[in-house]
Structure 1
Amino acid sequence: MRPVVQETYGPADLSGQRSFAGGFINFGYWRAVDLDLPLTEAERIRSQEDLYRHVLDAAGPPRDATVLEVGCGLGMGCAVTLREYGPASVTGMDIHPEQLRRARSTHAGLLREEPARLRFVQGAAESMPLDDGAFDVVVSVEAAQHFPDLDAFATEASRVLRPGGRVAVASFFTVDDAPGRPDELARLLDSYATGLDIARPVRALADAFAKAGFTGVRVESVGPHVWPGWDLWLSRWWEPGTWPRNFLRAYEQRILDYYLVTADRPGRNAGTADGPADA
């Protein structure tokens, strides 16, 4: 585990910061939230749950499916999946032992009630301690910006998926691989300057999936439903020009965007989507 990740999700406990309400750690999908009205914590939590809903819907109907979340954090998305989608089981995997301790504590009741349907395991995206072909669906929500090796993640996602399974990843990436993008982001955003977030084009993830044998790779920009709401929420505490507000600036300058990337593992019951990646 990289030291900056260990600190951010361990002692610093990003999930406890007021901008990440309800224990989720994501920027939110604000499409169903009226941004012209005052935002409350309820709308903030709705945005974070809606990001999971958007990803799970794109992953295909998870009902009766075995679902893996890579980078599960406190497991709030695992709880949404169990509560609303009727999967056979959900496995939350995270690299950070402290996050898993918090997840097990937060969901102690659910773990007692659903011992066969919910579990949390420690593991890295690039080396998953999970059986081959164990899952119908692999999702990852706002974690891939931390993964050191996207090729290894894609290979592992393919390995743990059954034939016909699908992977769906939501995260933020640079819009292209133009020279200087990492330096631009490091000047704008502390999370890139410290190395917490890694500057890579979305094409790198799409190509990694294709290289790992996935088909029907699709790239969808969801930035219009992420960045304005996130920035408006941050305005409660941060003035314009402060670094957290620069996420919107990086988006408006066409440096950074938020994407949903989906792909199918070939085999029986594979999705009907087909064709080259579209970034």
Structure 2
Amino acid sequence: MDQNRIPPTVRRTYGADDLSTAPSFGGGFINFGYWQGMDLTAPTPEDRVHSQEQLYRRVLREFPEPREHRRLAEVGCGRGLGAALALREFRFATVTGVDIHPDQVERARAVNAKALATYPDRLAYTLGPADDLPFADGSLDGVYSVEAAQHFRELTGFAHEAARVLRPGGRLVVTTFFTADGPDVAERLSILLGSFADGLDVPHPLSAFTADLGKAGFGDVTATSIGADVWPGLDRYLADTVPPGHWSRNFHHAWRTGLLDYHVVTADLA
């Protein structure tokens, strides 16, 4: 794979900077968390990790039972902890974590060495971009992605690749933060949030992604907002872990003002 395809901010953030070590993530997982039912009075680092595990469980429950014969891939797997959780708790037949960043693939293999040794034929981590997945046509029963699609430069190629690698009837589940429609949304987000300003995150309108899925051959496309279980919990945790006035606190404001929201998107290949 051409490593020049990795945008500089993505290369740095998930390479030398190793975003997983930032206090705002609590270590290990790298997502904003699903805080439903959690006590937000004084969330601890352990609560933060639990919220991130819960986001994976929220996504993985979208694959109906029986799950034992389903072959899955996670696109943008990062350190691979979610793929290991998927195999361990949901007992899929196989789970392959895919990431565009070679440092993340190396970390995933190191962090999950015990799981790889325990399930040598069922768990794997490999290098690959979202728009050129390393799988044969129709070889998977499910594809999922947890808070990675906001880094993809475009989602049209990802939608078509997911359709290519899934068998008929296979399911795609994607969760991340999508933007609202509007001519000034991207500009307003780049003012509020440093990750949009420096190009780490790309403003993808939800409506454009769901349209791409339809054009790629998916049916039964649904988008469910889970923002109420993401943004307040994240903001409460950030209040104790980032300096006052840090731009990351503006995610909550962007949600409250309708610029973006967190969704779970599901789609079944026709």
Q: Which residue of 2 aligns with 1:16?
A: 21
Shift of 1:76: 0.7
Q: Which residue of 1 aligns with 2:90?
A: 85
Q: Which residue of 2 aligns with 1:254?
A: 258
From 162, 167, 190, the counterpart of 1:157: 162
Aligned partners of 2:24 and 2:242 also within 8 Å: no
Shift of 1:16: 1.2
Q: Which residue of 2 aligns with 1:170?
A: 175
Matched, 1:58 2:62: yes
Residue 125 of structure 2 aligns to a residue in which SS? strand
Q: Which residue of 1 aligns with 2:3?
A: none
Residue 240 of structure 2 aligns to a residue in which SS? coil
Shift of 1:40: 1.2
From 108, 125, 143, the counterpart of 1:138: 143
Residue 143 of structure 2 aligns to a residue in which SS? strand
Alignment of 1:1-279 (within 5 A): 1-36=6-41, 38-61=42-65, 62-175=67-180, 177-239=181-243, 241-266=245-270
Instruction: Give per-residue Cα distances to partners, 1:43-97, cap 9 Å, x unaligned.
Output: 1111101100111112333333111000000001011101110111100000000
Looking at structure 1, the residues matched to 10 and 93 of structure 2 have their Cα atoms a distance apart, in angstroms, of 31
Q: Which residue of 2 aligns with 1:276?
A: none
Looking at structure 1, the residues matched to 117 and 75 of structure 2 have their Cα atoms a distance apart, in angstroms, of 22
- Aligned residues: CA RMSD: 1.1
Residue 188 of structure 2 aligns to a residue in which SS? helix
Looking at structure 1, the residues matched to 17 and 68 of structure 2 have their Cα atoms a distance apart, in angstroms, of 36
Aligned partners of 2:9 and 2:199 also within 8 Å: yes
Aligned partners of 1:66 and 1:88 also within 8 Å: yes
Aligned partners of 1:59 and 1:139 also within 8 Å: no
Instruction: Give per-residue Cα distances to partners, 1:241-266, cap 9 Å, x unaligned.
Output: 42010000100111111111100011
Shift of 1:239: 4.8
TM-score, normalised relative to structure 1: 0.92
TM-score, normalised relative to structure 2: 0.95
Q: Using the TM superposition, name which of 134-143 and 39-48 deviates more.
A: 39-48
Report sequence identity in percent.
49
Shift of 1:17: 1.0
The code of the aligned residue for 1:244 comes to: S
Moved over 6 A (4+): none
Aligned partners of 1:239 and 1:245 also within 8 Å: no
Shift of 1:236: 0.8
Q: Which runs of 5+ in 1 are unaligned?
A: 267-279
Looking at structure 2, the residues matched to 262 and 132 of structure 1 have their Cα atoms a distance apart, in angstroms, of 20
Looking at structure 1, the residues matched to 227 and 175 of structure 2 have their Cα atoms a distance apart, in angstroms, of 11
Q: 1:67 to 1:6 in 2, by over 3 A?
A: same
The code of the aligned residue for 2:208 comes to: A
